[in-house]
């Protein structure tokens, strides 16, 4: 029970404890709690009554919104934003909190939340966050994959408020040897019998890639104009526009300026594309940084009943995490990709942000499924298939939903 530290976490765990003990096995082993995998699977099927999200796991929180709710607005409300955490939320005292900046710098920094707020320019930017494991369940359908079985909701678009990473790095003074910036969280992830912080790193070029409206990376205290919630990394998290969510470290405690990528497990071994997981493959594979071009049908849902005639289809499309790239067009097919109906893009087109779309397509009793495919402003289109990989990352083949059309 040692994880029940912060009050919010305590309430949450107490609630899940009560739910878990109500009908399913709960095993206390050593100092951790394990809900039986059967119970976890059952839980994953149900929407949590207290939140609007579909909960995959409770002790480390992993949850995603229902797709119809997700595309109700271009800016994702915090209570509809997916949560992906590898460990329970850490307890952090705002008053004594200090962000450390160390490594290949002229001077080390030790910054309180007030120092960050008053010592640097306050900026905000809208950017989409998505997990490299979004749509993992479609990889799993080919061959089962361990881990959270994300559907298509591990994505959200928010306004992130804070200070530019580059400004903080400039204050510390980068030495010539500086090539990569490491980020360590204050959480404790179980790893090989001990614990490690969740960590990431990004190339220095990305850290310094500020444009007028978009920082290369942002040290954020706010999400959609409100202080970050514990689930999303309070009091301070990194946000790296265009990169997989795993690079945007929550509960950020330490920045290390280095001449190489971070040795943290989540850079050195996880978040790579490997097939068998041999030592050689892990060593050869490069860390994933940018997320890929993607699109998803959010309504109707799989199994949806439609009337023959015109059907309205809605969803999201995500340009790849490359600067100055947006969605050029989205097509919906009702005949397995032989012909495509062009969708209307119904929200703003901006780099590093998803776009919502809506299409009217003809359906007949012979229509069995709907399919979507996006093309970006550089002329790239989603691949027809994606190679299966051991961790189930980066699934971005055209999304299909099965539908049932009545006469
Ligand atoms: N410290 C820490 N940061 C983290 C994680 C984590 O488990 N611990 N998960 C990462 C992953 S894999 C993703 S996809 C995003 C999810 O951010 P969100 O929970 O705010 O949606 O946070 C990233 N940052
Ligand atoms: Mo993720």
pLDDT at 51: 75
Ramachandran angles phi, psi of 50, nearest 5°:
-85, -30
Domain end: 253, 284, 315, which one? 284
Residues 86 and 230 in one domain: yes
The predicted-structure confidence for 177-236, as pLDDT tens digits, reads as follows 999 999 999 999 999 999 999 999 999 999 999 998 899 999 999 999 999 999 999 999
CATH of the domain at 28: 3.90.420.10
CB 189 within 8 A of CB 197: yes
Pair of tokens at residue 58 = 């409770």
C-alpha neighbours within 13 Å on the C-beta side of residue 24: 14
Q: Enter the pTM of the model.
A: 0.89
Taking residues 368-381, report their average pLDDT.
Answer: 98
CA of 303 to the centre of ligand 1 (A): 31
Taking residues 103-125, report their average pLDDT.
Answer: 98
- The dihedral sign for the CA sequence 7, 9, 10, 14: positive
The predicted-structure confidence for 19-42, as pLDDT tens digits, reads as follows 333 333 333 333 333 333 444 444
Residue 90 lies in a domain: yes
pLDDT at 58: 93
Residue 289 lies in a domain: no
CA of 28 to the centre of ligand 2 (A): 28
Residues 128 and 259 in one domain: yes
CB 162 within 8 A of CB 222: yes
Residue 225 lies in a domain: yes
The predicted-structure confidence for 276-287, as pLDDT tens digits, reads as follows 999 999 999 999
387 is in which domain, residue-wise? 294-406
> What mean pLDDT, rounded, does the chain reach?
90
* Percent of the chain whose predicted confidence (pLDDT) is above 70: 88
pLDDT at 28: 31
The predicted-structure confidence for 288-334, as pLDDT tens digits, reads as follows 999 999 999 999 999 999 999 999 999 999 999 999 999 999 999 99
Question: Residue of the nearest CA to atom 19 in ligand 1?
Answer: 83
CA of 297 to the centre of ligand 1 (A): 24
Taking residues 106-125, report their average pLDDT.
Answer: 98
What are the residues facing 84 on neighbouring strands?
62
Taking residues 41-48, report their average pLDDT.
Answer: 45
pLDDT at 15 over 70: no
Question: Residue of the nearest CA to atom 9 in ligand 1?
Answer: 85
CB 354 within 8 A of CB 348: no
Among residues 187, 209, 389, the alpha carbon closest in space to that of 288 is found at: 389
Taking residues 145-174, report their average pLDDT.
Answer: 98
Q: Rounded CA gap, 397 and 387, in Å?
A: 10
pLDDT at 5 over 80: no
Predicted confidence band of residue 49 (pLDDT cuts 50, 70, 90):
low
Cβ(250) – ligand 1 distance below 6 Å: yes
Question: Residue of the nearest CA to atom 20 in ligand 1?
Answer: 232
pLDDT at 42: 42
pLDDT at 252 over 80: yes
Ligand 1 pocket test target in 134, 248, 252, 255 with most atoms within 8 Å of CB? 248
CB 357 within 8 A of CB 399: no
- The dihedral sign for the CA sequence 225, 206, 389, 371: positive
Residues 327 and 259 in one domain: no
Residue 1 lies in a domain: no
Ligand 1 pocket test target in 86, 128, 157 with most atoms within 8 Å of CB? 86
Taking residues 165-179, report their average pLDDT.
Answer: 98
Q: Which residue has the tokens 């590898």?
A: 86
Q: Rounded CA gap, 184 and 197, in Å?
A: 6
Taking residues 380-384, report their average pLDDT.
Answer: 98
Lowest-confidence segment of 22-31, 103-112, 166-175, 212-221 by average pLDDT: 22-31
Residues 97 and 229 in one domain: yes
Residues 105 and 129 in one domain: yes
Predicted confidence band of residue 406 (pLDDT cuts 50, 70, 90):
confident
Among residues 378, 380, 382, the alpha carbon closest in space to that of 400 is found at: 382
pLDDT at 153 over 70: yes
Residues 274 and 302 in one domain: no
């Amino acid at each position: 029970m040692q994880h029940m530290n912060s009050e919010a976490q305590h309430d949450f765990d107490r609630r899940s404890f009560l739910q878990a003990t109500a009908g399913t096995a709960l095993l206390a082993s050593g100092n951790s709690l394990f809900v039986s995998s059967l119970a976890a699977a059952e839980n994953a099927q149900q929407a949590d009554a207290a939140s609007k999200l579909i909960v995959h796991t409770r002790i480390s929180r992993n949850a995603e919104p229902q797709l119809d709710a997700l595309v109700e607005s271009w800016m994702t409300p915090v209570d509809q934003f997916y949560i992906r955490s590898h460990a329970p939320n850490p307890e952090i005292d705002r008053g004594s909190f200090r962000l450390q900046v160390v490594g290949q710098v002229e001077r080390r920094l030790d910054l309180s939340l007030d120092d960050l707020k008053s010592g640097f320019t306050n900026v905000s930017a809208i950017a989409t966050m998505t997990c490299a494991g979004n749509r993992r369940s479609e990889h799993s359908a080919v061959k089962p994959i361990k881990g959270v079985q994300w559907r298509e909701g591990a994505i959200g678009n928010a306004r992130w408020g804070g200070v530019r990473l580059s400004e903080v790095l400039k204050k510390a003074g980068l030495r010539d040897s500086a090539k990569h910036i490491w980020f360590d969280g204050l959480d404790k992830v179980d790893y090989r019998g001990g614990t490690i912080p969740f960590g990431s790193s990004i190339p220095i070029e990305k850290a310094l890639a500020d444009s007028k409206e978009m920082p290369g990376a942002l040290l954020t205290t706010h999400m959609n104009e409100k202080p970050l919630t514990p689930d999303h990394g309070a009091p301070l998290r990194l946000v790296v526009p265009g990169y997989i969510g795993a690079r945007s470290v929550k509960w950020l405690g330490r920045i290390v300026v280095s001449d190489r990528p971070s040795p943290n497990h989540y850079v050195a071994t996880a978040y790579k594309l490997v097939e068998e997981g041999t030592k050689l493959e892990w060593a050869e594979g490069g860390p994933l940084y940018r997320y890929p071009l993607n699109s998803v049908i959010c309504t109707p849902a799989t199994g949806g009943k439609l009337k023959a005639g015109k059907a309205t289809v809605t969803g999201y499309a995500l340009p790849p995490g490359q600067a100055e790239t947006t969605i050029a067009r989205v097509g919906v097919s009702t005949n397995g990709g032989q012909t495509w109906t062009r969708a209307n893009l119904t929200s703003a087109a901006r780099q590093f942000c998803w776009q919502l779309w809506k299409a009217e397509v003809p359906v007949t009793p012979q229509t069995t499924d709907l399919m979507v495919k996006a093309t970006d402003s550089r002329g790239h289109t989603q691949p027809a298939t994606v190679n299966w990989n051991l961790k189930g990352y980066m699934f971005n083949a055209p999304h299909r939903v099965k539908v049932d059309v009545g006469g």
